[in-house]
Structure 1
Amino acid sequence: MGWILIILAALSEIIGVVGLRFYSQHKTLRNLMLYIGGFGVSFALLYASFNYLQLSIAYVVWVGIGTVGAVLVNIIFFGESKNLSRIISIIAIIIGVAGLKAVS
């Protein structure tokens, strides 16, 4: 159950990041709610995951998935740079999170 909560929390964080991007461009109530709602749900789900997982593992996985997801969404949908350094950095984050999970 804890892993499901972390995945949902990370997906909500990505929604919050998209909302933040939209809100920074167009200050509408819809974009504000997407931004605040995404991050709010994300924090609530992260907090709930602490009942099942160690805080250190849950937090790192949440940050890793959220970071990689936000970068990929911005590359795919918003035309951000996809240079080799960014791709290598994304791979390093994935390896780090997977390695931490493997040893826990």
Structure 2
Amino acid sequence: MAWIYLLVAGGFEVFGVSMIHSLNKARNWRSIGMISLGFGGSFLFLTLAMQTLPMSTAYALWTGIGASGGAVLGMLRYGEARDLRRILYIVMILGAAVGLKLVA
């Protein structure tokens, strides 16, 4: 169950990053509330995952999911460059996350 919590935490993290983009476009209370929901949910589920998983593994995977998810979201939704090198490095981040899961 901890791994599911960690994936949900990563999803909330990506959502929070997306809402930062929204806040930069329209500074209003709705955007601030959505950012709070995203990062609050992210920290909540990260905390739940860390009850079972080692802190080093959980944090590394959480940041990897957030970083790669944010980069993919930027490419798919906000028109950021889809350079082969960027995609390679995202795959490397995800590969490292899988490696950590295999040894945890």
The TM-score, its normalising length taken from structure 1, stands at 0.94
- How far the C-alpha of 1:60 sits from its partner, in A, is 1.0
One-letter amino acid of the counterpart of residue 18, structure 2: V
CA RMSD of aligned residues (A): 1.0
One-letter amino acid of the counterpart of residue 85, structure 1: R
How far does the alpha carbon of each residue in 1:60-96 deviate from its partner, in whole angstroms, 9 at most, with x for none?
A: 1111111111111111011011111211110110111
The residue that corresponds to 1:67 in the other structure is: 67
CA distance in 2, matches of 1:33, 1:81: 29
CA distance in 2, matches of 1:6, 1:54: 12
The residue that corresponds to 1:6 in the other structure is: 6
The residue that corresponds to 1:83 in the other structure is: 83
Among the aligned pairs, what percent are the same residue?
33
* Structure 1 outlier segments of 4+, above 4 Å: none
How far does the alpha carbon of each residue in 1:43-70 deviate from its partner, in whole angstroms, 9 at most, with x for none?
A: 1110111111111111111111111111
Unaligned 5+ segments in structure 2 are none
CA distance in 1, matches of 2:44, 2:102: 25
The residue that corresponds to 1:101 in the other structure is: 101
3-state SS in 2 of match to 1:94: helix
The TM-score, its normalising length taken from structure 2, stands at 0.94
How far does the alpha carbon of each residue in 1:23-43 deviate from its partner, in whole angstroms, 9 at most, with x for none?
A: 012101111111121011101
